[in-house]
Amino acid sequence: MHCTLWERACSQMRCISHHLSRLTHRFREQARSHRGNVWSQGELTTQQSCHRHGARSGCASGDRPPRVR
């Protein structure tokens, strides 16, 4: 009986481990796409502000915002 319980526990741990690795992979993919969305939103905001202020502010309508590291 002890062997049967251990086999069940081992099987459940494999299942849980696999599930956790899938969740981790999913979060990494979400983070990667989220960075792209933030960059796109920042670029759009910069272009809109340049358009509002015109050429006096020193930026053209097609300029990209400075890269943040």
* Cα angle: 43, vertex 40, 64; to 5 degrees: 30
Helices assigned H by DSSP within 1-69: 2-53
pLDDT in tens, 33-54: 544 444 444 444 444 445 444 5
pTM value surpassing 0.85:
no
**Are the C-beta atoms of residues 64 and 43 closer than 8 Å to each other?**
yes
Say which residues have a Cβ less than 8 Å from residue 49's Cβ, sequence separation at least 6: 57
Residue 1: the pLDDT is 47
Residue 10 burial (CB count, 10 A): 10
Q: Which amino acid is at 33?
A: S
